[in-house]
Each structure stands twice: as C-alpha cells, then as structure tokens.
C-alpha cells in the first residue's frame, strides 16, 4: 500500500486504530444525552406548541422526527464504525476526494451557526447567575447594546466561549469525559424540575389539562393543518439533528462494533429528546398555573424560582446545570464536525484543534443568535441542504456500493474517487437539484409542501437523481 497523499491526510483524519475504538453503546448513549439535554431542545417543544400543536401533537412530531433522523444516523454511522473514518473522508467516496469539501464545509458552516447560538445561551445562563449573586452586574454598560447584546452578555459570552475552546484544545478524550459526566447529572436535574412542576401545580394531569392555554389558535385545519403546521414542525425536528446525521461517523469511528453504535444511538437519541421535550412542555404549562403566564425560557424560570425561594444558591446550581448542558451539546454537536471538515479541507495546515478554534471564531462572527426569533424557519431552511447531502451519501454507500469502500483510495488523489479532477460532478449536481426542488417549494404557489418538508424533499430528490446519474456514466 502506497503512502497517503499529504493533501488528503493528517493524523486527525487517519482511520482509527483498533486500540482507539473503545466506545461502547453507553458511551454513545451518554453522548446523545449530553447533546439532547439543552435549552434548544426545551425551546423546540415550545416552538411546536406555539405554532398550533397541543402537547401530544408536539410530542408525536418530536418522536417521529427523531425516529426519522435516527435512520440516516445509523446508516451513516455504519461507515464510521466499519472503516474508522470521519465524515469528510467518508464523503470523498461519493463527492470525490476534493468535491467532499463542498458538503463538509456547508455542514461546518451550519454547525458554526449553532455554536454561536449555544454559546449565547450558555453565556446568558452565566450572566443571569452572576446577576442573582451580584444585582449590579446586569446594569454594567448602562443597558447599551452592540449587535443586540449588552456588555454583561458579551463578557459572559466570551467567558463561556473560552471554556468551549479549552475542551476542544484538549481533544476527543476530554469530550468523551465531559459527556460521561454531564449525562447522568442532566437527567437527574431534568427529572427534578419535572417533579417540582408536578408538586407545585397539582399533578401531571392538572398540568396537561391546562396545556391547551399555551396553544396558538391555528387558521388551518385538516390537510392544510398538516402541511402548514405539522409538516414544518416535523421537518424542523429532523433539521434539529440533520447536522449530526451527516457527521455522526466522527463519533462512531471510535465504537467497538456496529451493534454498539446502533444500540447507543437507539438508546440515547429518541428517548432523551422525547423526555426533555416533554419536561419543557409540562414545566411551561405549570408556569401558567403558578404565575398566570407561560415562562418558556428555563433561564427566566430559574431566576423567578430563586427569587421566590430567596435562595441565590438555588439559582447558582440551576444555572450551572444549564451551562453544563449547553457546553456538552455545543462541544459534541457543533465543534467536532467543523473541526474535522476544516482539517480535511486544509490537512497540511489545519489540525483538529486548529479547525475547532476556527469554527469557534466563525460562530462569533456569524452572530447567529439573531435568528432565534425565527427558530423553526431557521431549522427548516437549512434542513433542505443537509437532506440533499444525506440523499447522495446514503444512495452511494448503501445502494450503489453496498457498503464496500476502498479505504486506501479515500486518501489518494489519483485513486478510485478522483472522478473529474477530484470532483464527482454528478454528486454535486444531484445535491443542487435537491436544493433547487426545496427552493421551488418556497417560490411556486401550490408546491409549499416541498419546502415545508425540506429535509424529506432533499433526501429523496437528490438520492434518486444521484442513482440515475451514476448508472448512466
């Protein structure tokens, strides 16, 4: 076997060795618990209810969405476990050794956006914690804002940003340690919050009976309700983890075998998302009974609880929990992927650590917290792009190649995945066709379902187009 090309290889991109494959199902499940228990999950449930669903319709959308996205998670994860390669290297088989930069950098850009959102949320939790212990804190800067953030928010934003960077710099094993620490801690705290709500509001039955007060009356009914309310909510739920469905090989490459990666994802993803989303809806419904209005943001709720109890330490513990939840999600979901993507695009100059640092900087520069007011729209919009990438990857690996890859060829510019100067133009065309169909649903009257079901449209159109184009070569 000839040595790999330096332009396609560095130690971070190399296939994992047998001694590095130490993750079992519980490590992967802990990863998912650490990622899924976060403020955006809480907000997702809130957004679905606010869009016109009742509590059980929102739970159904969340369950179905996670079962749907679990399929590409497991299917793409298979390549990571079998060949030990990260997502940017896996994508070379279908897009070409250089063409793989197109989907991997697109996925990285979305992750950088999420990194900024999560860092903003974690910073706000820390700022609220400091504000409870030191009331004058929130008045720093006189309330003046820069890019929608006050001085205390900016200080805490960069403080939390620095904590994220430290874990990235320490590498994959520190991330594994963080997820294993966070998972049981976050589950206990989440159940404790649900227990408080049930005790304070008169039981779960009473809470759910009053959850209807949270629902925004919808102008749609029947099929129109499905297209305009349920389908966008389902797509948003899929889009929530559409990023990870692409770069899940970045983690499954450390799994001992396929059974461990399959069971780890099955145990960790749908169960945690459903439980924590339910906690979000139930606790928010309880706030309507207790305070007369809904408090959707857990940071605001914690502030209110600590003031009512007269205990700043309660706020400290709760905000610490939110910070840990946000940190564990941010590192695993939004740094590992772009770090590997950037390392793949510039292997001779960018390592995993440097790629993670670049991603962290881009997360600041994009200012993505500005899209939080358009939460579901943000999720639906990018899910079409990521769904189109998924369609090509899955069609190539499972239907065209039947899971057989030339491992050495993935690291050679003159090997079987060179295509046209390193680019598989058919794969790029199929991906762009999927994106075009999604956009058509946005622009053409009567075709709204194509956009509102953006991920599904992208997967099926790009996958079918790819198979057709490749069989005609």
DSSP string of 78-134, one letter each residue:
HHHHHH---HHHHTHHHH-TTTTHHHHHHHHHHHHHHHHHHHHHHHHHHHHHHHHHS
Q: Is residue 155 part of a domain?
A: yes
pLDDT for the residue 98: 96
Helix orientation angle between 258-291 and 298-309, rounded to the nearest 10 degrees: 50
User: pLDDT for 357-411, tens place per residue?
Assistant: 998 899 888 887 787 666 667 677 788 999 999 999 999 999 999 999 999 999 9
Residue 149 sits at φ, ψ, to 5 deg, of: -115, 140
Tell me how far apart the alpha carbons of residues 68 and 234 are, in angstroms, rounded to a whole number.
9
Q: Comparing C-alpha atoms, which of 293, 351, 277 is closest to residue 65?
A: 277
Structure tokens, 120? 């903003």
Neighbours of 470 (CB within 10 A): 19
Q: pLDDT digit of tens for each residue in the chain (473 aa)?
A: 577 888 898 888 999 998 999 999 999 998 888 788 877 787 777 778 777 788 888 899 999 999 999 999 999 999 999 999 999 999 999 999 999 999 998 888 888 888 888 888 888 888 887 887 788 898 898 888 888 889 999 999 999 999 888 887 876 667 667 767 776 777 777 788 888 889 988 899 888 887 777 766 666 677 888 887 888 888 888 888 888 899 899 999 999 999 999 999 999 999 989 988 898 888 888 888 888 887 877 777 877 877 787 777 776 777 777 777 778 778 777 888 888 888 888 888 888 888 889 988 998 888 877 876 666 676 777 889 999 999 999 999 999 999 999 999 999 999 999 999 999 999 999 999 999 999 999 889 888 889 988 999 999 999 999 999 998 65
Q: How far is CA 408 from CA 15, 85, 105, 227, 414, in A?
A: 10, 11, 23, 46, 11
Q: Is residue 216 part of a domain?
A: yes
Q: Is residue 1 part of a domain?
A: no
Q: How far is CA 219 from CA 134, 210, 213, 235, 379, in A?
A: 46, 21, 16, 20, 22
Which pTM value belongs to this model? 0.85
Neighbours of 374 (CB within 10 A): 11
Q: What is the dihedral of CA 332, 338, 344, 349, to 10 degrees?
A: -100
pLDDT for the residue 270: 93
Tell me how far apart the alpha carbons of residues 100 and 347 are, in angstroms, rounded to a whole number.
13
The DSSP code sequence of 381-443 is HHHHHHHHHHHHHHIIIIIISTT---TGGGG-TTSTT-TBTTB-HHHHHHHHHHHHHHHHHHH
Tell me how far apart the alpha carbons of residues 218 and 221 are, in angstroms, rounded to a whole number.
8
Q: Which residue has the tokens 């198979």?
A: 467
Q: Which positions ≥6 away from 400 have C-beta within 8 Å?
A: 466, 467, 470
How is residue 230 annotated by DSSP? I
Domain that holds residue 173: 6-471
pLDDT for the residue 473: 58
Residue 429 sits at φ, ψ, to 5 deg, of: -65, -45
Q: Is residue 258 part of a domain?
A: yes
Distance of alpha carbon 237 from its chain centroid, rounded? 10
Helix orientation angle between 312-334 and 172-201, rounded to the nearest 10 degrees: 140
Q: Is residue 449 part of a domain?
A: yes
Q: How many domains are there within the chain?
A: 1
Tell me how far apart the alpha carbons of residues 288 and 456 are, in angstroms, rounded to a whole number.
36
Q: What is the dihedral of CA 194, 199, 201, 202, to 10 degrees?
A: 120
Tell me how far apart the alpha carbons of residues 291 and 209 are, in angstroms, rounded to a whole number.
16
Q: Which residue has the tokens 């403080």?
A: 159
CATH assignment of the domain containing 43: 1.10.4160.10
Instruction: Work out the end-to-end distance of the chain between its first and last CA atoms, rounded to an integer number of angstroms.
Output: 28
């Amino acid at each position: 076997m000839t040595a790999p090309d330096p332009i396609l290889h560095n130690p971070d991109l190399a296939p994992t060795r047998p001694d590095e494959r130490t993750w079992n199902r519980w490590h992967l499940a802990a990863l998912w618990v650490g990622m899924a228990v976060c403020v955006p999950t809480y907000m997702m449930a809130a957004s679905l209810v606010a869009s016109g669903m009742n509590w059980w319709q929102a739970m159904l959308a969340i369950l179905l969405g996670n079962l749907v996205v679990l399929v590409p998670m497991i299917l793409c994860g298979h390549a990571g476990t079998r060949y030990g390669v990260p997502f940017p290297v896996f994508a070379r088989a279908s897009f070409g050794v250089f063409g793989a930069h197109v989907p991997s950098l697109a996925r990285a850009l979305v992750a950088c956006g999420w990194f900024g959102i999560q860092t903003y949320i974690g910073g706000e939790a820390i700022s609220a914690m400091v504000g409870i212990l030191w009331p004058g804190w929130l008045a720093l800067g006189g309330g003046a804002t820069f890019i929608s953030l006050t001085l205390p928010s900016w200080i805490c934003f960069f403080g939390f940003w620095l904590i994220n960077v430290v874990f990235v710099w320490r590498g994959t094993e520190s991330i594994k340690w963080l997820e294993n620490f966070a998972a049981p801690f976050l589950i206990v705290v989440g159940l404790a919050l649900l227990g408080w709500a049930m005790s304070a509001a008169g039981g779960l039955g009473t809470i759910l009976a009053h959850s209807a007060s949270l629902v925004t009356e919808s102008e749609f009914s029947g099929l129109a309700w499905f297209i305009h309310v349920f389908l966008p909510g389902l797509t948003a739920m899929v889009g929530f983890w559409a990023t990870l469905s692409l770069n899940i090989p970045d983690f499954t490459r450390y799994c001992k075998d396929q059974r461990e990666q399959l069971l780890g994802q099955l145990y960790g993803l749908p169960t945690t998302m459903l439980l924590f989303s339910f906690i979000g809806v139930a606790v928010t419904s309880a706030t309507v009974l207790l305070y007369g209005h809904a408090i959707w943001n857990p940071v605001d709720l914690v502030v209110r609880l600590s003031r009512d109890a007269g205990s700043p330490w309660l706020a400290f513990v709760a905000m610490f929990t939110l910070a840990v939840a946000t940190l564990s999600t941010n590192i695993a979901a939004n740094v590992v992927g772009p770090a590997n993507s950037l390392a793949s695009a510039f292997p001779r100059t960018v390592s995993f650590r440097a790629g993670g640092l670049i991603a962290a900087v881009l997360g600041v520069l994009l200012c993505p917290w500005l899209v939080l007011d358009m939460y579901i729209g943000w999720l639906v919009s990018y899910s079409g792009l990521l769904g189109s990438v998924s369609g090509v990857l899955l069609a190539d690996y499972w239907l065209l190649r039947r899971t057989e890859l030339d491992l050495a060829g993935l690291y050679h510019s003159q090997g079987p995945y060179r295509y046209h100067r390193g680019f598989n133009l058919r794969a790029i065309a199929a991906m762009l066709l999927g994106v075009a169909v999604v956009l058509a649903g946005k622009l053409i009257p009567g075709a709204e379902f194509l956009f509102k079901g953006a991920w599904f449209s992208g997967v099926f159109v790009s996958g079918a187009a790819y198979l057709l184009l490749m069989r005609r070569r």
